[in-house]
Amino acid sequence: MLPSNADVARVLGELAVLSEIDEGSPQAFRVRAYQNAQRSIEQQTGEVARMSASQLAGLKGIGRSTADKIREYVDTGSIRKLEELRARHPVGKQELLRVPGLGPKTIGLLDELLGVRDLPSLRAALDDGRIAALPGLGEKTADNLRRAIEQLGLSSKQTRVPLHVAKPLAERLVAALERLDAVEQAAYAGSVRRFRETIGDLDVLVASRDPATVTEAFLGLGEIASVIGSGATKTSVLTSEGVQVDLRVVPPESFGAALLYFTGSRAHNIRLRQRALRRGLTLNEYALARLPEDEQEPAAPHVGEDREADGEADPGADGERDATGDTRRDLEVMAQGTEEEVYAALGLPYIAAELREDDGEIEAAEAGTAPQLVERADLRGDLHDHTDWSGDGRASLEDMVAGAVARGHAYLGLTDHAEDLRINGISRDGMLRQRRLVRELEQERGDIRLLHGAELNIGVDGSLDYDAEFLAGFDWLVASVHSHFTRPVGEQTARVLAAIRHPSVTAIGHLHGRMIGKRPGIELDLDRVLDAAVETGTAIEVNSNLRRLDASAEVIREGARRGVTFVISTDAHAVGELDNLRHGVANARRGGLPRDQVANTWPLERFESWVAAVRGA
DNA sequence: GCCGTTTTCGGCCCGACTGTTTTCAGTCG
Ligand SMILES: Nc1nc2c(ncn2[C@H]2C[C@H](O)[C@@H](COP(=O)(O)OP(=O)(O)OP(=O)(O)O)O2)c(=O)[nH]1
Ligand SMILES: [Mg+2]
Ligand SMILES: [Mg+2]
Ligand SMILES: [Zn+2]
């Protein structure tokens, strides 16, 4: 069997790690090159193993040398260069690289001077004092390493935490910081703002004239358990749950540049900074600024010209280094207050935070081909909602409808669980009774269209609840997988295809049935599933539950490309959960989903005629 | 190792914090 893209990416990752150890430098350009190649492979949707060397070399970040290595891996199952590196550096050294505070330089030193090449021998060397005695190291470093080894695998940096844990924590911390007088603005950034599914650490940004006071107050917050490091502008801590939080405090005028920096991704930042340099500018977390002529990139072609500033006339060098936490004062600031201003000064339209992964968003922005992404305010309805009539619904029908109206919805899909669900699905009689109540409520209120629907259970054989005639009586039907999550991909695809092709089914709920961090969900042949969705018009749901985010951003991206119609739904089981729509919106944006491909952005009339068309009426 | 609407060679983002150093290297964001 051909290696998967993930296999190829993993091999490139190991080449990067081993090269870092081999070269003894975190800045080694070969390391960066392998990392970029790895990211490039991870972003491919087609099968990399089927590509020729020249096709591979055409991918960005992959050249002749890496293309040949990938082919060598696909054809022979191994790579000579990788085997050589493995022979020189036992896996123990890769283990050492995962210890926080241990980098390639120190690992090289440990091997050379002490023969320490793995965790157990490092422990021994720490215990008998050999580490503290090494040149450039001391007692404190040894203590820090001991602690780091003890706590290996306990920090979120190593385990990562699901977004549904990280995001509420980030919101609590921001709210707490906003209450401080010294704080002018606070926001979470990093992977939470980009809406990644799992989070290594929280990154929280504050604008303030008084960073010391902010830092002190932050360290005093109840959720904070220990301090990793704390300086004038940057503090890192661990919560009692082991979640790392990085706090950055910047002057208010730099808030936009700092938010841009702290939101990342790292790769996106580097691309922007390279772009700045090509324009004679320099970008950091304080500002986009103009470089002096003699520091601009196309180095002056005079012979003997030297860009090095040390040794003489260092700008502002009157015996002290550039003050930390400030813009270089000798440079003309071009933009710093808002992210929009920085992008504009770089010749780019604003790029949505959810897209900033350097997987084509900068090129799309530059070309002006970035789609109008869906926003919360575009949504006119919610199409997957439960009441206390079924399952674990906790709110009455009346309260759910009132909650939907309060949130400005023009239509609401009531989709209680159908009879096949083990936990309290609704019988035919029950459904008919509920339908009468729904009709009455709609009449009485007159301020919202109520679609009487159900959430059907896709059986292991693709069958659905009730029968075809009964199903034809609903206004709106979501069909979801709630059981048998571990069948082979062929069976799972067949089940879902049967539901998509059913004439009465209007949407497929939480496509994979995954629970982030708990259950991977069913395997599907996405090609066939998405094609069938396009063919039948059946919508794919973007489930807004933070534990699900299903369809995933990756599936959404692929579906968006093929012209699939989506709906963004809360799957609310209580009134408060109707607010979860913002999470579905963020995930849809991460998938690059254009507003017009989301059916519940459409006015009621357009929405209903689309439903009628899907049901072949 | 990659890459080029100036470059096929000579660059490669830029800054904060810690520990160790006497002027900065290493690691991390
Ligand atoms: N310019 C630049 N920015 C960086 C670098 N490393 C990190 N950043 C910025 C961009 C990141 O999104 C932001 C926060 O760093 P993190 O290590 O917390 O990464 P991020 O939050 O993206 O992912 P995470 O889920 O925490 O692993 O800091 C870097 O090497 N250069
Ligand atoms: Mg982070
Ligand atoms: Mg961080
Ligand atoms: Zn549901």
As a whole number of angstroms, the distance between CA A499 and CA A501 comes to 5
CA A81 to chain CA centroid, nearest Å: 33
Q: Identify how many contiguous H helices and E strands chain A contains and give both numbers.
A: 25, 17
- Among all ligands shown, which has an atom nearest to the Cα of A263? 1
Which of A161, A165, A191, A516 maximizes ligand 1 atoms within 8 Å of its Cβ, making it the mutation to test the pocket?
A191
> At how many degrees (to 10) do helices A64-76 and A29-43 cross?
60
Q: How far is the CA of A514 from the centre of ligand 2 (A)?
A: 24
pLDDT of residue A273: 96
Q: For residue A191, give the ligand 1 atom closest to its CA.
A: 21
Please tell me the distance from the alpha carbon of residue A459 to that of residue A310, in angstroms, as a whole number.
71
Q: Nearest residue to B12, CA vs C1'?
A: A29
* A373, β-bridge pairs: A594
The reported pLDDT for the residue numbered A424 is 84
Summarised one tens digit per residue, pLDDT across range A403-442 is 999 999 999 999 999 998 877 899 999 999 999 999 999 9
| CA–centroid distance for A453 within its chain | 32
Residue type, A196: R
Residue matched to tokens 């951003």? A553
What does pTM read for this prediction? Answer: 0.93
Three-state secondary structure call for residue A551: coil
- pLDDT for the residue numbered A391: 81
As given in the structure block, the two tokens for residue A157 are 């940096």
**Cα–ligand 4 centroid distance for A570 (angstroms):** 8
Beta partners for residue A451, in sequence order: A413
Q: How far apart are CA A281 and CA A272, in angstroms?
A: 11
The interface pTM score, or ipTM, of the predicted complex is 0.96
Task: Mean pLDDT check: name the lowest of A246-255, A321-330, A339-348, A528-537.
Answer: A321-330
The answer to whether the beta carbons of residues A11 and A73 sit under 8 Å apart is yes
Backbone angles phi, psi at A12, to 5 degrees: -65, -35
Domains (ranges, CATH) in chain A? 5-151 (1.10.150.110), 161-250 (3.30.460.10), 254-367 (3.30.210.10), 376-614 (3.20.20.140)
Q: What percentage of residues in chain A have a pLDDT greater than 70?
A: 94
pLDDT over threshold 80, residue A297: no
What mean pLDDT, rounded, does chain A reach? 93
DSSP letter (8 states) at residue A358? S
CB atoms within 10 A of CB A96: 25
CA distance A543 to A12: 34
Pocket of ligand 1 (CB under 6 A): A 190-191, 196, 199-201, 203, 246, 261-266, 269
What are the CB-based long-range contacts (under 8 Å, 24+) for A148-151? A148/A99, A148/A100, A148/A101, A148/A102, A149/A99, A149/A119, A149/A122, A149/A123
Residue by residue, DSSP assigns A36-98 as HHHHHHHH--S-GGGS-HHHHHTSTT--HHHHHHHHHHHHHS--HHHHHHHHHS-HHHHHHHT
Tokens, residue A49? 């193993």
pLDDT tens, residue by residue, A45-82: 999 999 999 999 999 999 999 999 999 999 999 999 99
- pLDDT of amino acid A328: 62
